[in-house]
């Protein structure tokens, strides 16, 4: 059985995903066969494996960092929020039902679609641990990512992603804290002190993330923390811009941040292209526009008001877990009017997945929103009917004379009634629509598409001939590996992965209530 480590955090967005990916990349560069793992993920940013399983994109990114093929074993439970109180449950890559804050309600289609999921997430701990053990049996090390905080005492009884899985599998735990937020010492101490003795016995130490300044000024605090908890700090990672890639949620576009904050090539042409992305509710797979933002001379921003689209050369309507709700939002915000005006004037619009669906003429939805028949924006000759079974796939083809690969995650089935073929969708005038996520990561196709946009808008934009999105992604992952290698105690981390936590870690009172 291979070694293991759980990377927990004092809060959400403390840096767990980035640290997990960095450890994976550091280990694989040392010749270690390593795999990432997250027992339960809550995210609208997902990916499809080669065998058609849906997992969190963060785990797919971590698998790339580990140079292994993504698999449903790496993220056995994925929750896709459909609102403030409900989420679709994806188990081993397939949707099985809806979950409320009080537990599983059963399949989205009701009893006719299958049997309710018994016992809620507590009953899934066995599945989660089995997946982890299978990975450990085939890898030298498995680096697990926690979720939120391990000290969420209201959720500990049913925990399957933090201390629940750590205790079931005997994993050592390193807690990551974001010092840029402030209060990191209190967060480390409080996180430890709110855990039961059996959980505290697995918490081996801490990792400071996003530190700015002179580390020597921090060292007295680290010494005091060790005195208070009996646990070391395994490293202080400096603040670096543009490190977040394939994040779980939020509006940050990872490689856009890199382009804006790092030294990049100037535009290849005389003018830039400005791209506005509608920040629709329940936005999914917002990373689709990362590849656009990685192009020199392309400026990407998220918008939620009509006036913010005035100078946009292209407006993108991204995917969403609530197509009908997003349609209403666009109408209420005045952005539906903007999209219709742009289409009439021959100004470019691109719809991806849910965005493609709401650009069509008609939607029939008895599954996602249960709104029934709804008139959509009417910009594309497409009728959409929502099916109970989700389409999951990794399609490939040719468009604009270039090879394209992508992935599909949708309940909506599109009937294309006209226009020019475009991937699995169509084009009508200056409006394009497709269900394919990730298509813009295909370099030749992306450049051809941007040339089309530039021609329609009259911009003197020239796509750089040598931008490789895959190479940029590898550079990012190597930067994460460098961060761990240079600023963490890698010898101590490896001993922890291989041998587990020290047997004499002290108890920090008061413990769990």
Sequence-separated (6 or more) residues with CB below 8 Å from residue 411: 367, 368, 386, 387, 388, 389, 390, 391
469-487 vs 254-261: helix axis angle to the nearest 10? 80
241 is catalytic: no
Q: Both tokens of residue 355?
A: 């965005």
- The 3-state DSSP class for residue 494 equals helix
- Count of helices and strands (H, E) across the chain: 15, 28
24 is catalytic: no
The active-site residue, picked from 353, 410, 435, 487, is 353
Q: How far apart are the first and last CA of the chain?
A: 34
- The 3-state DSSP class for residue 60 equals helix
The alpha carbon dihedral of 356, 359, 364, 367 has a sign of positive
Place of tokens 């009937």: 415
Per-position b or e across 25-48, b if 16+ CB within 10 A of its CB: bbbbeeebebbbbbbbbbbbbbbb
User: Is the CB of residue 67 less than 8 Å from the CB of residue 74?
Assistant: no
Place of tokens 């497709």: 434
The active-site residue, picked from 139, 410, 411, 437, is 437
CA distance 35 to 292: 29
Q: Both tokens of residue 70?
A: 């993504």
Catalytic residues: 353, 437
């Amino acid at each position: 059985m291979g070694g293991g480590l759980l990377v927990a955090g004092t809060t959400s967005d403390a840096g767990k995903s980035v640290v997990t990916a960095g450890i994976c990349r550091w280990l694989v560069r040392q010749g270690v066969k390593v795999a990432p793992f997250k027992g339960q993920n809550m995210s609208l940013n997902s990916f499809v494996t080669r065998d058609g399983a849906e997992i969190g994109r963060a785990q797919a990114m971590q698998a790339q960092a580990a140079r292994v093929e993504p698999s449903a074993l790496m993220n056995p439970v994925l929750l896709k929020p459909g609102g403030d109180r409900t989420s679709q449950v994806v188990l081993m890559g397939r949707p099985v039902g809806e979950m409320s804050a009080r537990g599983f309600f059963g399949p989205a289609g009701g009893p006719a679609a299958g049997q309710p999921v018994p016992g809620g997430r507590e009953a899934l701990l066995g599945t989660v641990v089995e997946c982890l053990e299978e990975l450990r049996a085939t890898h030298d090390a498995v680096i697990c990512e926690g979720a939120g905080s391990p000290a969420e005492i209201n959720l500990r009884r049913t925990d399957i992603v933090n201390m629940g899985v750590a205790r079931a599998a005997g994993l050592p735990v390193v807690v990551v804290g974001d010092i840029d937020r402030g209060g990191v010492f209190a967060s480390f101490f409080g996180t430890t002190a709110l855990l039961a003795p059996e959980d505290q016995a697995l918490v081996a130490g801490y990792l400071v993330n996003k530190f700015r300044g002179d580390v020597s000024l921090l060292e007295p605090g680290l010494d005091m923390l060790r005195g208070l908890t009996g646990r070391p700090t395994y490293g202080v990672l400096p603040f670096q811009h543009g490190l977040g890639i394939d994040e779980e949620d939020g509006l940050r576009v990872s490689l856009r941040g890199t382009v804006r904050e790092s030294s990049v090539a100037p535009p290849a042409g005389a003018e830039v292209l400005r791209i506005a992305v509608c920040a629709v509710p329940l936005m999914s797979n917002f990373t689709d526009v990362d590849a656009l933002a990685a192009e020199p001379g392309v400026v990407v921003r998220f918008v939620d008001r009509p006036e913010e689209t005035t100078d946009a050369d292209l407006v993108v309507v991204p995917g969403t877990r609530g197509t009908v709700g997003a349609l209403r939002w666009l109408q209420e915000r005045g952005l539906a009017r903007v999209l219709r005006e742009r289409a009439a004037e021959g100004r470019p619009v691109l719809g991806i997945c849910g965005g493609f669906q709401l650009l069509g003429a008609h939607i029939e939805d008895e599954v996602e929103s249960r709104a029934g028949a709804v008139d959509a924006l009417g910009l594309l000759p497409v009728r959409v009917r929502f099916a109970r079974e989700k389409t999951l796939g990794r399609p490939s083809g040719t468009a604009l004379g270039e090879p394209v690969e992508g992935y599909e995650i949708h309940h909506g089935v599109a009937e294309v009634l006209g226009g020019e073929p475009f991937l699995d969708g169509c084009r009508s005038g200056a409006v394009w629509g497709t269900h394919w996520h990730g298509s813009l990561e295909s370099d030749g196709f992306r450049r051809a598409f941007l040339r089309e946009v530039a021609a329609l808008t009259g911009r003197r934009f020239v796509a750089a001939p040598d931008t490789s999105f895959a190479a940029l992604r590898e550079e990012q992952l190597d930067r994460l590996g460098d961060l761990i290698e240079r600023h963490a105690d890698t010898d101590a981390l490896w001993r922890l992965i291989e041998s587990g936590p020290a047997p004499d870690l002290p108890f920090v009172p008061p413990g769990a209530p």
